[in-house]
Amino acid sequence: MAKAFGKIILAGEHAVVYGYPAIAMTIDLEVRINARLSDKPGLVFLNPQIDPEHKSAGLFVEVLPKLTELLGPRVRELEFQIDSDIPGGCGLGSSAALSVGLIRAVLDFLGESRSSEQIAGMALELEKIFHGNPSGVDHTVIAQEGLIWFQRGHAEKIIPKRPLNFEISMASPHAGTRAAVQAVRHRYDQNPSGTMQIFEAISQLTFDMRRAIEQGDLPEIGRLMTENHALLKKLGVSTDELDALCAQAIQNGALGAKLTGAGGGGCVIALMPK
């Protein structure tokens, strides 16, 4: 059984599409995929909630031909049984986990192995089906696992000095990562300098957050998360519901809170004091 975890982004989403850094981490929700020979090859979703967003867009049709291109003709003989804990359309990396999980499932079936970098490279091709022009942060952190710093295709592990505990709360699903990324692109085209200023500020706080993580300064990490949320709101990707969830988390004692992923719905992550 192949597995892939979901992910959260601690800082830098959207700006990362424009070449700025991001910090991302895998979480213990996973997709499980079993690939077996079958006279009815194809994708079988054991959990219909896996990703309504992508299913309805009919994008899954393109996945197996791409997987065949990447891993060879035996893919056409396989039935993929897919079960997932990761809710779709919520910014938790459901499609990237599916991409990485499918590749791992084929490799398991073939009895082959690849490095996490090679798996991430192949997952990028699948992610392009779902998201058009992804930065690569989602499938890279999912392929590598743990906590990473990501910028322009380069990823490195970050070692936190103290454990990071997040609570995740869920708002309504978003309209899709592709739509959110396009909305930001539109904003950028309308107002390049104003949008760049927001990206620069996000980039600065992402560097600061890395330092705070390596120093174990939890209050500072929380403060920077809340600052990141305010900038994402300025960028137009938050919603009243996400803002309210952040405020509530902080009122309940979180050190900081922000939306995670594409926004426009989805999830809020809150850093817990312990």
* Least separation in angstroms between CB 135 and ligand MEV: 3
Burial of 116 (0-12, 13-18, 19+ CB in 10 A): middle
Residue 138 known to be catalytic: yes
Q: What angle do CA 257, 171, 250 make, to 5 degrees?
A: 25
Phi then psi for residue 134, to 5 deg, are -70, 150
**Per-residue tokens: 221:** 């990490």
- Residue 187 interacts with ligand MEV (CB under 6 A): yes or no: no
Site string for ligand MEV, 211-250 (x = CB under 6 A): ----------------------------------------
Nearer residue to ligand MEV within complex by CB, 154 or 161: 154
- Residue 94 interacts with ligand MEV (CB under 6 A): yes or no: no
Q: How far apart are CA 228 and CA 259, in angstroms?
A: 9
Residue 96's nearest CA partner among 143, 50, 60, 56 is 143
Nearer residue to ligand MEV within complex by CB, 109 or 130: 130
Phi then psi for residue 195, to 5 deg, are -70, -40
- Residue 92 interacts with ligand MEV (CB under 6 A): yes or no: no
* Least separation in angstroms between CB 84 and ligand MEV: 16
Distances, alpha carbon 154 to alpha carbons 21, 40, 151, 227, in Å: 10, 39, 5, 25
User: Applying CB under 6 A, which of residues 84, 94, 144, 177 lies at the interface with ligand MEV?
Assistant: 177
Tell me which H or E stretch contains 170.
Answer: strand 166-170
Site size for ligand MEV, by CB under 6 A? 15
Q: How far apart are CA 177 and CA 192, in angstroms?
A: 21
Q: How far apart are CA 1 and CA 34, in angstroms?
A: 5
Tell me which H or E stretch contains 9.
Answer: strand 2-11
Site string for ligand MEV, 130-159 (x = CB under 6 A): -x--xx-xx---------------------
- Residue 16 interacts with ligand MEV (CB under 6 A): yes or no: yes
- Residue 13 interacts with ligand MEV (CB under 6 A): yes or no: yes
Site string for ligand MEV, 101-120 (x = CB under 6 A): --------------------
Type of residue at 79: E
Determine which one of 28, 39, 138, 240 is catalytic.
Answer: 138
* Least separation in angstroms between CB 88 and ligand MEV: 13
- Residue 178 interacts with ligand MEV (CB under 6 A): yes or no: no
User: Applying CB under 6 A, which of residues 29, 33, 97, 181 lies at the interface with ligand MEV?
Assistant: 181
Are 89 and 32 contacting, i.e. CB atoms less than 8 angstroms apart? no
| Residues involved in catalysis | 138
| Binding stretches for ligand MEV (CB under 6 A) | 9, 13-14, 16-17, 91, 131, 134-135, 137-138, 177, 181, 261-262
